[in-house]
A and B are shown apart, each in its own frame.
Chain A
Amino acid sequence: MEKNKHFLVGIFEDQDELMHAVEHIRHEGVKIHEVYTPYPIHGLEHALGYKRSYMPRAAFLFGLTGGSLALTLETWTMAFNWPMIIGGKSHWAFPDFVPVTFEGTVLIAAFGMVGTFLVESALHPLKAPRLFDRRATDDKLVMAIDLGNNSLNEDQIKAVLKDAHAKEVYRKDFTDEDNKESFVKYLVDLFTKGVTSSSRKLG
């Protein structure tokens, strides 16, 4: 369970400045929690030192699962549970099963990928989303640094951020209350207040 979290948020306005800042800040030994940008920035994931996603492997395994399930279902129903002759073909008419097997593969792979992505990106309903700065969806590039995860203290990191030409630096705290995982609260808020709900901490 997550406890109170304290972050430093740095706001950047220029893509190239951000890229240099990321390099500089990581060079200074500060661990960056995440960078939020309104549009994808090519090469940012390399600059942040992210490892390659395991999504392709997840997709392969989900696909394999889906394909096996579909083929098993067809085999069991058509050849064992209630054998039927259709169009003079044998009970286990493999060519006929291929389209369904294919569809099962695609379906489960797609569902699995969406699910994996939501869990991986912390966007699933049970998780209270953390919004650092609303302007990350508009025209600002937002960098979040987890104070609890860094050996440098707040003032030192602030100095590093300023040094890296951050236009604004401020501290942002998420309390226990904010982190409470309440699906009911989330849904109620979503319907009553829409995206401005209190379960989404807004900047």
Chain B
Amino acid sequence: MAAHSEVHYNLDERYVFSDKAKKNIFIVLILGIVFFAIGVATLALGGGGGEHHALAFGDPNASVSAEGHHGVSWLTRLKADLWINNVFFLGITVIGVFFTSIQYAAHAGWSAALKRVPEAFGSFLPIMLVLMLAVFVWAGHDLYHWTHESLYDPNHADYDEVMVGKRPFLNTTFFLATLVIFIGGWYAFWLFIRKNSLAEDIEGGTHRFWKIKTLATLFIIFLAITSSIGAWMWVMSIDSHWFSTMFGWYMFASWHVSGLATITLTVLYLKGDGYLKMVNENHLHDLGKFVFAFSIFWTYVWFAQFLLIYYANIPEETYYYIERFTSATYFPTFIMNVLLNFILPFFGLMTRDAKRKEIILKVVCFGVLIGHWIDFFLMITPGVVKEQGGFGFMELGLIMIYVAAFAFVIANALSKAPLVAKNHPMLKESLNHHI
């Protein structure tokens, strides 16, 4: 029985954030800035700004008023892009903590050898909080229709009773409070989990495991509530009149798949660099199953949300999809969304062999990440810039800048702690994992 024979791995290995890795991240950052500059220059000079008045599809209430709106310029598009990346990377970051937590809550042993990877993701949370706050303070007025004071003034032409009704929830104070409390809370949970996890490396024993389990369980409950409210607040309220009871799940599903794909890619990167020798195709198989299963879960939620609205055919709800279906700008991305987020992982990762091959996992995870960025693009852009959205050098550059920042912080966090939690009570199970 080969599986039971003792193989000795280096459990004390540490990730070294090499100059080569730093250089690569720096190249991505510089390329990103260059692309971003090219994108901004073409849009600013190419007549993208100025007097375009967006057509508000279907929704009479959301029509762009002359006052307070100065057309849709490249700057508004930039604000939407920033918000997409903020929400997308916030999701990937928090899913790292979530993934760690479910391993503890479920007493999962298989992942013990690679658990430092998702655990490191949490270190990006404070940066995300700053970015979210900064972008909201700067761009909130353009992103969120409900921030317009005139909507709540009974004497103003824009007075909107529906928005007045939503005001107790949709207001700047509450919005900022959710950002600080939710993301701050996630970070606090992460700090405690991390502290215990690192202490376990020194102390050994199982008491740290039980402590983390309690924290993890509380975090999952906290995240269940906060991610849903966050989804309504941060993303759904962009289309201020539109609502969907499935939105919290839907966005969380999108986050979850993106996070799982990023965890898989990070593990594969570390393996390619010669680390994590104990993580073999059995662990990759399980990660692949996660990406496969939650891609299907995303599809289910995404489709269920659409089907309910399509079937009920209520104007307040359908305009959201009409905006995305009938537009030459957004319809191709709508199709890409299904292809990359469902067809690709469904058929790409269906067989056992596919989940155990690094190259297939890399291709599918990368495709899924692009797909879910597109998903957030479709959630956010049409509501902010109406027909003026698009994907160009500016978007590409911004993504690369965010990727570089994320990669730098995560690599830094990985290098700060031993790469293997050597005193994790279930490490042996993980080392012998065989499916």
Chain A positions within 8 Å of B, measured between CB atoms, are 19, 42-43, 47, 52, 56, 60, 87-88, 95-96, 98-99
Contacts and interface: CB of A to CB of B under 8 A. Distances in A.
* Closest A-B pairs by Cβ, 10 of them: A95-B310, A95-B307, A43-B1, A19-B1, A43-B3, A87-B313, A87-B311, A88-B313, A98-B303, A96-B311
Interface of B: 1, 3, 303, 306-307, 310-311, 313, 350-352, 434
Which of B3, B311, B351 neighbours the largest number of chain A CB atoms within 10 Å of its CB? B311
Contacts, number: 25
Contacts of A19: 1
Nearest to B350: A60
Contacts of A96: 307, 310-311
Contacts of A56: 351-352
Given A95-B306, A95-B310, 15 more contacts: A19-B1, A42-B434, A43-B1, A43-B3, A52-B352, A56-B351, A56-B352, A60-B350, A87-B311, A87-B313, A88-B313, A95-B311, A96-B307, A96-B310, A96-B311
Nearest to B353: A52
Nearest to B310: A95
Nearest to A60: B350
A98 B311 CA distance: 12
A189 B408 CA distance: 72
A47 B1 contact: yes
Contacts of A47: 1
A32 to B, nearest CB: 17
Contacts of A87: 311, 313
Interface of chain B, helix or strand or loop or mixed?
helix
Given A43-B1, A43-B434, A56-B352, A99 B307 contact: yes
A60 B311 CA distance: 30
Nearest to A99: B307
Nearest to B304: A99
A87 B434 CA distance: 52
A47 B3 CA distance: 12
Contacts of B313: 87-88
B50 to A, nearest CB: 39
Contacts of B434: 42-43
Nearest to B300: A102
A95 B338 CA distance: 14
Contacts of A52: 352
A142 to B, nearest CB: 20
B307 A98 contact: yes
25 contacts: A19-B1, A42-B3, A42-B434, A43-B1, A43-B3, A43-B434, A47-B1, A52-B352, A56-B351, A56-B352, A60-B350, A87-B311, A87-B313, A88-B313, A95-B303, A95-B306, A95-B307, A95-B310, A95-B311, A96-B307, A96-B310, A96-B311, A98-B303, A98-B307, A99-B307
Contacts of A88: 313
A95 B311 CA distance: 9
B434 to A, nearest CB: 7
Nearest to B435: A42
A56 B353 CA distance: 12
Contacts of A60: 350
A47 B350 CA distance: 26
A28 B433 CA distance: 30
A25 to B, nearest CB: 15
A95 B303 CA distance: 9
Which of B1, B303, B352, B434 neighbours the largest number of chain A CB atoms within 10 Å of its CB? B1
A16 B102 CA distance: 33
Contacts of B303: 95, 98
Nearest to B307: A95
Contacts of B1: 19, 43, 47
A98 B306 CA distance: 12
A56 B3 CA distance: 24
Nearest to A47: B1
Nearest to A44: B1
A99 B303 CA distance: 10
Contacts of A99: 307
A113 to B, nearest CB: 15
Nearest to B306: A95
Contacts of A42: 3, 434
A146 to B, nearest CB: 25
Nearest to B4: A43
B3 to A, nearest CB: 6
Contacts of A95: 303, 306-307, 310-311
Nearest to A19: B1
Nearest to A16: B1
A96 B311 CA distance: 8
A22 to B, nearest CB: 10
A19 to B, nearest CB: 6
A52 B306 CA distance: 39
